[in-house]
Chains A and B, each alone.
Chain A
Amino acid sequence: MKRLLAGFLLGVVMAVGPAAAQNGPLRIEITEGVIEPMPFAVPDFVATSPAAAQAARDISRVIAADLSGTGLFREIPASAHIGKVTDFDAPIQFADWKAVNAQALITGSVSQSGNRLTVKFRVWDVFAGTELGTGLQFAGAVDGWRRMAHKVADTVYSRITGEGGYFDSRVVFVSESGPKNDRRKRLAIMDYDGANVQYLTDSSAIVLAPRFSPTGDRILYTSYETGFPRIFLMDVGKVRRKQLPTPEGTMSFSPRFSPDGRKVVYSLTRGGNTDLYEMDIRSGKSRRLTNSPSIETAPSFSPDGRQIVFESDRSGTQQLYIMPAGGGEARRISFGQGRYGTPVWSPRGDLIAFTKQNKGRFHIGVMRTDGSEERLLTASFLDEGPTWAPNGRVIMFTRATRGAAGRSSLYTVDITGRNLRQVRTPDGASDPSWSPLQK
């Protein structure tokens, strides 16, 4: 009887159910998508006068290079364009850009008055047929056209991805020239893409590990000009430097600014033991943060300034630890195979980049601040010294090739491990430090 009743009910449900199943709209859930560069088009910006024509072309090319260089976008070449933009204020023929599968379109104009350039631009969502944000304009000196182009690209990047850009930023690094056994090292600074290289020091003394201040106007670095490694502070604008006061007979190195720019945390070797110290830049007073017979070095502040991540061999092998900014008990966060070093806290605060040596190869990797979700992004004969882009999405590092003719170069990689690229520099380059976005 029960079976008969169940069968009857099932029949009723099957007969009535489908008809009553969907009263509202059809509902589906999408959980799988694709990850690929977004196609975009940047037709040459409209020059409002013949004098601005070259700048208009150059600015358009730098914007395209910035966006394509992220790996998140793919430029549709001008040869494939159907539509032409000859008037910045004319309505956009979206069908022309849809036809070439451009999902984003950047239009702009450049005008020049004397030594002053003005760049206007708009970003369009082609398939939605709408503008992303509103039109914007930058103005500046003619020789600052690259910075204006970077700023446009930063804005476009931000409007499409929702994250800040990193194009209007600079990188300080150690420029290396000469053979390996007689290598000359100089501090140099350049745009993030390798343009506008300028040298800050001569090659009379070995220089190491430059680090930008949070405002990008000062640099800390280590120099051997006294015979021992000492920390120097340089004003980038005036190219003026001073040595930070550290005790005689000690070696100080591996400095890094606190997020407020007032303090420096660094390593100091005294009597064969290396510990971490903190110095107030204004007063020059130092305070010891660690007291261990092991080697503690490569400190890096968290963005909120409350914690410091550093490397130590206190457990027998080189591992990463986090401790309160004022010193205190440290907890180990790296537990994988191999040795970990040069940790750097992401500007977003969510990840720590590091160098890892394992099975004869070097890797650049990232992990959560609790040590979880370790992800190795690169692998080579020698990768080391990661530094974060201002938006925390890209890492720059040093890659060296083996052999007597080995050369150091700078590379960038996305935090997903995609888009590994070399940064063009005139000579060998190492120890990069990425500045914040310029004001």
Chain B
Amino acid sequence: MQTGTKISGIAHLLLIGWAVFGGSFDTEPLPFEVHDVSVISAEEFAAMTARPATPDVAAEPEAPAPPEAPVESPDLAAATEAVPAQDAPDLSTPPEIEAAPEPAPEIPVPDVAPDDTPPVPVQPEQDVAVLTPLPVPSRPESRAVDRVAPQPVAPPPPEARPDEVTSPAVTPDEGGETRQAPKEQTAPEAATDRIITEADKGDEVAPSASLRPRARPARVARREPKPAEKAPDAQSAVKAALAEALGGGAASPDPAPSGPPLTAGEKDALRVAVSNCWNVGSLSTEALRTTVVVSVRMNRDGRPDAGSIRMLSSTGGSQAAAQQAFGAARRAIIRCGANGYKLPPDKYDRWRDIEMTFNPERMRIK
């Protein structure tokens, strides 16, 4: 303890001695600005502060000097006379009644539905995709919702030809190395994803904006098949494979197909392609309750063999309804397969024979 006390005492003494004699406080002062201040009297200060409030205004302002060359004022009377003579209306006497125009002819009642709703004020631009412009006479509103599809589709460009596939217009480039055949721009028809009745529209004449349509998975898959992205996880693949293996034991005269099966993405692409042509709008109520299973043999180019399409079974409706439902299914397969379904050629054995079940249950509630 004593040693420590001694060391501490010596250290403190050395520190104090260095501070006193070492000149540690003789450093140069930090730079700072200096302003001269003059002492003024209270009267001078009052005079300074009062000056802005009471500007020194001359008691009698001098009259402005007249312009050296005064402009002559125009002769208004002469100008008025120059105006073509107009008979002033005689307000003292009312206009003669016989001058009243003929009553307007009766306005013909238009064929379209009378509009009881007030006009919709123009909305400011919003940061949404405007899909449905205000109705114009050349394109009635009812036409725009003629089509109900699984996914809503924005109105196509006016110059585009209606088609299931969206494709840009191709014009031959005279300077290009390879000549391209001119091709018309195509786009799918505008569609909603459910039936919209007049009662659903509320008081609005037409919607001013709607959500952007979602991408159509079918087209993505058909243009750029990416099996790896759409492949199911291992567990679901095992389940699906086992289920199909166990449930798909129907006798077939053809040898069992070999090679890898279609991926879920390839199947989805086929399913959506057929869906786009499966029009149930003209089916009877009973046919809309009828599920039909249809078989089709496919050619190698992806086109269905129309003669091979037949109905394997039906459930839920009469034979007549089943025939109507089968007719719609057959048209769907043939129409959308007219240019060949996008199926992997190397897996032809897997899709040579297809059984499609057309179940309209979800379409009944559109």
By a beta-carbon cutoff of 8 Å, the part of chain A in contact with chain B is 10, 13-14, 17-38, 71-74, 98, 103, 125, 127-129, 132, 160-163, 348, 350, 363, 365, 375-381, 393, 399, 401-402, 407, 409, 411, 413, 416-420, 422, 424
Q: How far is the CB of B291 from chain A (nearest CB, A)?
A: 9
Q: CA of A162 to CA of B327 in the docked complex: distance in angstroms?
A: 10
Kindly state the interface size class of chain B when it binds its partner. Answer: 35 or more
Contacts of B270 in A (CB 8 A): 28
Given A127-B335, A401-B116, the answer on whether A22 and B283 have CB atoms closer than 8 Å is no
Contact B199 A26 (CB under 8 A): no
Contact B327 A128 (CB under 8 A): yes
- Partner of A30 from B113, B195, B275, B320 at Cβ < 8 Å: B275
Which chain B residues in 275-332 approach chain A with CB under 8 Å? 275-287, 295, 306, 309, 320-321, 323-324, 327-332
Contacts of B250 in A (CB 8 A): 24-25
Given A365-B199, A375-B197, A401-B114, the answer on whether A73 and B363 have CB atoms closer than 8 Å is no
Q: Does B171 contact A (CB under 8 A)?
A: no
28 of the cross-chain contacts (CB-CB < 8 Å) are A10-B238, A21-B241, A24-B249, A26-B354, A26-B355, A27-B248, A27-B356, A30-B274, A30-B275, A32-B272, A32-B278, A33-B278, A34-B149, A34-B276, A35-B366, A36-B191, A72-B282, A160-B282, A162-B323, A363-B199, A376-B199, A376-B200, A379-B201, A380-B114, A401-B116, A413-B198, A418-B195, A422-B112
Contact B150 A162 (CB under 8 A): no
- Partner of B282 from A19, A38, A363, A401 at Cβ < 8 Å: A38
- Partner of B338 from A26, A72, A98, A399 at Cβ < 8 Å: A98
Binds A, one of B17-25, B47-55, B176-184, B257-265: B257-265
Contacts of A103 in B (CB 8 A): 331, 335
Contact B238 A128 (CB under 8 A): no
Q: Does B90 contact A (CB under 8 A)?
A: no
Binds A, one of B74-82, B123-131, B140-148: B140-148
Contact flags (1/0) for B7-36 with A, using CB distance below 8 Å? 000000000000000000000000000000
Contact B241 A17 (CB under 8 A): yes
Q: CA of A34 to CA of B193 in the docked complex: distance in angstroms?
A: 9
Q: CA of A215 to CA of B272 in the docked complex: distance in angstroms?
A: 47
Given A35-B363, A127-B330, the answer on whether A162 and B356 have CB atoms closer than 8 Å is no
Contacts of A407 in B (CB 8 A): 109
Q: CA of A98 to CA of B338 in the docked complex: distance in angstroms?
A: 10
Contact B197 A23 (CB under 8 A): no
Contact A25 B355 (CB under 8 A): yes
Contacts of B284 in A (CB 8 A): 161-163
Q: How far is the CB of B217 from chain A (nearest CB, A)?
A: 11
Q: Does B359 contact A (CB under 8 A)?
A: yes
Given A162-B286, A420-B113, the answer on whether A127 and B242 have CB atoms closer than 8 Å is no
Which chain B residues in 141-194 approach chain A with CB under 8 Å? 142, 145-150, 189, 191
Q: Does B240 contact A (CB under 8 A)?
A: yes
Contact B283 A26 (CB under 8 A): no
Q: CA of A171 to CA of B359 in the docked complex: distance in angstroms?
A: 37
Kindly list the 4 A-B residue pairs having the minimum CB-CB distance in the complex, ordered from nearest: A417-B197, A33-B278, A376-B199, A25-B353
Contact flags (1/0) for B331-366 with A, using CB distance below 8 Å? 110110010000000000011111111111111001
Contacts of A13 in B (CB 8 A): 238, 241-242
* Closest chain A residue to B287, Cβ basis: A162
Contact B201 A22 (CB under 8 A): no
Contact B262 A29 (CB under 8 A): no
Contact B114 A399 (CB under 8 A): yes
- Partner of B147 from A25, A36, A73, A127 at Cβ < 8 Å: A36
Contacts of A125 in B (CB 8 A): 327, 330-331
Q: CA of A128 to CA of B308 in the docked complex: distance in angstroms?
A: 11
* Closest chain B residue to A126, Cβ basis: B331
Q: How far is the CB of A275 from chain B (nearest CB, A)?
A: 32
Given A17-B242, A379-B199, A422-B113, the answer on whether A28 and B267 have CB atoms closer than 8 Å is yes
Q: How far is the CB of B156 from chain A (nearest CB, A)?
A: 14
Contact A25 B252 (CB under 8 A): yes
Contacts of B331 in A (CB 8 A): 103, 125, 127-128
* Closest chain B residue to A125, Cβ basis: B327
Residue of A13, A23, A132, A376 with highest tally of chain B CB at under 10 A: A23
Contacts of B62 in A (CB 8 A): none
Q: Does B234 contact A (CB under 8 A)?
A: yes
Contact B197 A377 (CB under 8 A): yes
Q: How far is the CB of B224 from chain A (nearest CB, A)?
A: 21
- Partner of B306 from A127, A163, A365, A418 at Cβ < 8 Å: A127
Contact B327 A34 (CB under 8 A): no
* Closest chain B residue to A34, Cβ basis: B149
Q: Does B60 contact A (CB under 8 A)?
A: no
Contacts of A420 in B (CB 8 A): 113, 142, 198
Contacts of B281 in A (CB 8 A): 34-38, 72
Contacts of A350 in B (CB 8 A): 285
Q: How far is the CB of A178 from chain B (nearest CB, A)?
A: 13
Given A28-B354, A161-B324, A401-B114, the answer on whether A21 and B240 have CB atoms closer than 8 Å is yes
Q: Does B136 contact A (CB under 8 A)?
A: no
Q: How far is the CB of B70 from chain A (nearest CB, A)?
A: 65
Contact B195 A20 (CB under 8 A): no
Q: How far is the CB of B249 from chain A (nearest CB, A)?
A: 7
Q: How far is the CB of B350 from chain A (nearest CB, A)?
A: 6
Q: CA of A21 to CA of B306 in the docked complex: distance in angstroms?
A: 27
Residue of B244, B286, B324 with highest tally of chain A CB at under 10 A: B244
Q: Does B245 contact A (CB under 8 A)?
A: yes
Contact A29 B197 (CB under 8 A): no
* Closest chain A residue to B235, Cβ basis: A10
Q: How far is the CB of B349 from chain A (nearest CB, A)?
A: 9
Q: How far is the CB of B78 from chain A (nearest CB, A)?
A: 54
Contact A33 B275 (CB under 8 A): yes
Contact A22 B242 (CB under 8 A): no
Contact A26 B353 (CB under 8 A): yes
Contacts of B145 in A (CB 8 A): 418
Q: CA of A77 to CA of B245 in the docked complex: distance in angstroms?
A: 51
Contact A20 B241 (CB under 8 A): yes
Contacts of B335 in A (CB 8 A): 103, 127
- Partner of B234 from A14, A378, A417 at Cβ < 8 Å: A14
Q: CA of A28 to CA of B273 in the docked complex: distance in angstroms?
A: 12
* Closest chain A residue to B201, Cβ basis: A379
Given A33-B363, A162-B324, A163-B285, the answer on whether A23 and B109 have CB atoms closer than 8 Å is no
Q: CA of A19 to CA of B132 in the docked complex: distance in angstroms?
A: 49
Besides the known contacts A21-B242, A128-B309, A128-B330, 8 further A-B residue pairs in the complex with CB atoms under 8 A apart: A14-B237, A25-B295, A28-B274, A28-B354, A35-B195, A162-B324, A419-B142, A420-B113
